[in-house]
């Protein structure tokens, strides 16, 4: 019986180690995704500013 408990304990330990590796990998992925999202927001803000300027210039050009 003690060997069965030892085997079961080792199996659970291996499962926990695998889960810990998966969580660490997921954490790294999430960190990278946060950086990507920030870059996308910055790019969208720049595009919005450019479009707003283009529309203002187009309107001013027609009215002048």
Model pLDDT, residue 58: 66
Q: Rounded to whole angstroms, what are the CA distances from 18 to 10, 12, 13, 26, 39?
A: 12, 10, 9, 12, 32
Model pLDDT, residue 31: 97
Model pLDDT, residue 59: 63
DSSP H or E run through 24: helix 2-63
Reported as a single tens digit per residue, the pLDDT across 1-60 is 789 999 999 999 999 999 999 999 999 999 999 999 999 999 999 999 999 999 998 665
Q: If you search the block for the tokens 């990278």, which residue do you land on? A: 32
Model pLDDT, residue 2: 83
């Amino acid at each position: 019986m003690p060997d069965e408990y030892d085997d079961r304990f080792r199996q659970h330990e291996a499962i926990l180690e695998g889960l810990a590796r998966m969580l660490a990998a997921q954490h790294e992925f999430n960190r990278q995704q946060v950086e990507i999202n920030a870059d996308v927001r910055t790019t969208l803000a720049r595009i919005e500013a450019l479009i707003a300027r283009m529309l203002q210039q187009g309107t001013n050009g027609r009215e002048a």
